[in-house]
Structure 1
Amino acid sequence: MNAPESLLNQARNGDRRALGRAITLIESTRRDHREQARRLLEAALPESGKAIRLGITGTPGVGKSTFIETFGLHLLEAGRRVAVVAVDPSSKRGGGSILGDKTRMPELSRSLDAFIRPSPTAGTLGGVARRTRETMLLLESVGYDVVIVETVGVGQSETAVAEMVDMFLLLLSPAGGDELQGIKKGVVELADLFLINKADGDLEKAAQRAAAEYRHALGLLKPSYKDWQPKVQLCSALTGAGISKVWETVTAFHESLAPSGALKDRRAAQAQAWFWQTLEEGLLQTLKDDPAVKAALPALEGAVRDGTTTPTLAAEDLLARFLRRS
């Protein structure tokens, strides 16, 4: 049996090292590895797509790691197998990144029914998104039925993650309206569930006030689905209060949207967008690698900066040089 298929079978039989090697193969940019990764994904695809895909984001200090661990442990008790993928386009891959993620979620990482993996970056969010999507398919194909994608970085990563999951969760602190003002409107519009964490002890009343403010703010936004109105809930990752209700809401979300085909349509649209994004990235890289383009690019970029030509004319010139060689 060929190596990629063998690796997949080992991972399906519970070999976590094999699963780690398979994901590393997917993440690699080496040409020979990309061919092996293609075979691996082709073998994995028939068994993928059966998991609940959740995206989670939140402002720094809101307690995402603690929440994901507490939530993940609850899912394990419910008989689920949980995979967590962390997307961080703002940091470079380092040898200690995986250990770092396991340190953030020590109890969850010890379970044989949980798997935690960072999604390394090559400096571009597009590359992170592609590898994260492929990693998700692989994790689903080996039996993880809840895949959580956590945004660690800031900026466009929230949109990228929302475009690869079924349901997007925004974790908030009890700061109320002040915090809401500091969050990009686009991120708020992406969320299907707002969770006010740290709703315990002295902060419980503040959390209740914040929930009322968020519910009022949601009335001004158009929901993403006609069959689902975004919810606002309280929870405490520290005490576990409200965590079971979060899972009930996730289940209700799927039960509300599955019959109409809304989730199936969403995944189909995501796959189509992924196709075009990958195609655009590949074409752009092919263009940049062309010898004629490489030779002409510095002068054309300089002319654009100096204002002696327009960006449109420079781009058309570059494309013409490329097409003449094609």
Structure 2
Amino acid sequence: RKTREAIILCEAAGFDTILVETVGVGQSETAVYSMVDYFLLVLIGGAGDELQGIKRGIMEMADGIIINKCDGNNVDKCQLAATHFRNALQLFPLPESGWAPQVLTYSGFYGYGIKEVWDMVYDYLDFVKKSGYFEYRRAEQAKYWMYESINEQLMGNFYHNPTISDMLQAAEQGVLRGERTSFVAAKQLLDSYFALLH
């Protein structure tokens, strides 16, 4: 949520290019995907994370893939990794945007390929703005974050309620001892919570 709020703040301040970086492959990428206009997957060629180490889901989210550190003794490995990813992307259906993700190599150290990366990003934005997908995606993201905010606030209110906090431990122990199922315990807790609201 804080990242989303920071993006909104930066946009309100007039910034039209905002970079959001995540580390690793996991839930943070899924959350970031729901708040950005362009999702760029950055990989290192020759690091052993080619295809087998990359989850299919993260590749399907990517609007573009770049292989970094394409310099020195690593150029051939990067080119090979780029070929593998291009081939793999051909096996996926086109994303909802209709854009065919591209795979590029670049060297952050020497600055090679950076112009091509920016051109790829701007080509994508031009494509989705002309097709109407840009506005559609922004609307879907706004809707997603409304529901996410509702869920977050409800959960916060539920877990910070002193009566529920006391009941949670007993419910958890009951589940662990096999006295009730997880579903029954959850229903009892929620029924108690909603009764407190009346």
> Are 1:305 and 2:182 counterparts?
no
Amino acid at match of 1:199: C
Amino acid at match of 1:131: K
> Are 1:241 and 2:108 counterparts?
no
SS in 2 for 1:320: helix
* Residues 176, 210 of structure 1: 8 Å contact kept: no
Question: Paired residue for 1:268?
Answer: 139
Task: Give percent identity, aligned residues only.
Answer: 42
How far the C-alpha of 1:155 sits from its partner, in A, is 1.7
How far the C-alpha of 1:313 sits from its partner, in A, is 0.8
TM-score (norm 2): 0.93
> Are 1:139 and 2:10 counterparts?
yes
Deviation above 3 Å: which 4+ runs of structure 1?
Answer: none
Distance 1:206 1:153 in 2: 21
Question: Paired residue for 1:42?
Answer: none
Q: Give 1 or 2: higher strand fraction.
A: 1
Q: What runs of 5+ residues in structure 2 fail to find an aligned partner?
A: none
* Residues 44, 67 of structure 2: 8 Å contact kept: yes
Q: What runs of 5+ residues in structure 1 fail to find an aligned partner?
A: 1-129
Distance 2:196 2:84 in 1: 60
* Residues 41, 62 of structure 2: 8 Å contact kept: yes
Amino acid at match of 1:219: Q
> Are 1:214 and 2:108 counterparts?
no
SS in 2 for 1:149: coil
* Residues 194, 230 of structure 1: 8 Å contact kept: yes
> Are 1:158 and 2:42 counterparts?
no
RMSD: 1.6
Distance 2:187 2:131 in 1: 45
How far the C-alpha of 1:154 sits from its partner, in A, is 4.3
**1:10-54 Cα shifts (integer Å, max 9, x gaps):** xxxxxxxxxxxxxxxxxxxxxxxxxxxxxxxxxxxxxxxxxxxxx
**Following superposition of structure 1 onto structure 2, how do residues 272-311 of structure 1 map, counting pairs within 5 Å?**
272-311=143-182
Distance 2:86 2:123 in 1: 19
* Residues 176, 211 of structure 1: 8 Å contact kept: no
TM-score (norm 1): 0.58
* Residues 196, 207 of structure 1: 8 Å contact kept: yes
Instruction: Choose from 49, 59, 83 the match for 1:188.
Output: 59
